[in-house]
């Protein structure tokens, strides 16, 4: 699959791919060599036709009466997801959820290297084997080390300035835990942002309990 195709994926497909990847990863670790869209459907709770459509988008075409080759699916989806590229990341903000993220296995599991942590209130302390640096060093650090991803878990109000500094330094993706919307780079469409918004998620759950 060509890089240009990946950039054109509809957001719905892109959002479902990590889930496909998790399940197919488990199959890959087992003895299953091939799987049909209807088997995937009952595992995932997504219709078989949706699955066929999504997988055809990334060039994975199952064969009538055979299904999909598990190994091809695993490597094909992994490629689209950039699993083996080895992106570099920094983390800003270590009070609250940031501290849990610094030591979280998610980075290693997905081939992302967390290189440094920044927090003015905790400068000089150690976390997950890293010495915490002041925020004012973040921009130069990202530029020098060619950092791809900013994990943003700073306190309310700091997010816009930190995001802007990272974007100036060439960061292309922000994983945003602050609950604030990131506007830096939005106009130019040069920045990818994935939001983990705890407030919105909890409210969404509560609304379904009414």
Query: Which residue, 30 or 207, is less far from a copy of itself as judged by CB?
Result: 207
Q: Which is nearer to a copy of itself, 33 or 106 (CB)?
A: 106
Residue placing its CB nearer to a copy of itself in the complex, 82 or 160:
82
Query: Which is closer to a copy of itself, CB of 23 or CB of 141?
Result: 23
Longest dimension (CA), the chain: 61
- Closer residue to a copy of itself in complex, CB, 9/164: 9
**CA 68/CA 20 separation, integer angstroms:** 13
Residues 6+ apart with CB under 8 A from 12: none
Q: In the complex, what is the shortest distance from the CB of residue 48 to a copy of itself, in angstroms, rounded to a whole number?
A: 18
Q: Distance between CA 67 and CA 39 in Å, rounded?
A: 9
Cα-Cα-Cα-Cα torsion 163, 164, 168, 171, nearest 10 degrees, comes to 20
Closer of 61 and 203 to a copy of itself (Cβ): 203
CB 166 within 8 A of CB 151: no
Give the footprint of a copy of itself on this chain (CB under 8 A): 3, 6-7, 9, 14-15, 17-19, 21-22, 45, 80-83, 85, 87, 96-97, 99-101, 103-104, 106-107, 109-112, 148-149, 172-173, 175, 179, 181, 186, 192-194, 196-210
Q: Least CB distance from residue 7 to a copy of itself, whole Å? A: 8
Find the shortest distance in angstroms from Cβ 85 to a copy of itself: 7
What is the Cα–Cα distance from 195 to 208, expressed in whole angstroms? 21
Report which of 69, 65, 67 is spatially closest to residue 33, judged by C-alpha positions: 69
Q: How far is the CB of 64 from a copy of itself (least distance, A)?
A: 29
Half-sphere exposure of 42 (CA within 13 A, CB side): 4
Positive or negative, the Cα torsion across 154, 155, 156, 157? negative
CB-count exposure of residue 129 (10 Å: 0-12, 13-18, 19+): exposed
Query: C-beta of 168: minimal distance to a copy of itself in Å?
Result: 17
User: Least distance in Å: CB of 160 to a copy of itself?
Assistant: 14
């Amino acid at each position: 699959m060509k890089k240009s195709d990946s950039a054109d994926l509809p957001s719905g497909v892109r959002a479902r791919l990590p889930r496909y990847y998790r399940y197919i990863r488990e199959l890959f670790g087992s003895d299953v060599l091939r799987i049909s869209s209807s088997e995937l459907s009952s595992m995932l709770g997504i219709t078989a036709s949706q699955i066929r459509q999504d997988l055809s988008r990334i060039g994975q075409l199952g064969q009538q009466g055979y299904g999909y080759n598990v190994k091809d699916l695993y490597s094909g989806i992994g490629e689209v997801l950039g699993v083996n590229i080895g992106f570099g990341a920094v983390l800003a903000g270590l009070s609250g959820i940031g501290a849990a993220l610094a030591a979280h296995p998610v980075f290693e599991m997905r081939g992302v290297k967390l290189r440094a942590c920044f927090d003015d209130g905790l400068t000089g302390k150690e976390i997950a084997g890293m010495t915490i640096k002041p925020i004012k060093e973040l921009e130069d650090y990202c530029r020098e080390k060619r950092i791809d991803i900013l994990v943003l878990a700073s306190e309310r109000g700091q997010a816009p300035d930190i995001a802007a500094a990272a974007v100036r330094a060439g960061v292309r993706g922000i994983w945003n835990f602050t609950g604030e919307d990131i506007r830096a780079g939005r106009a130019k469409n040069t920045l990818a942002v994935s939001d983990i918004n705890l407030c919105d998620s909890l409210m969404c759950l509560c609304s379904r309990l009414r």
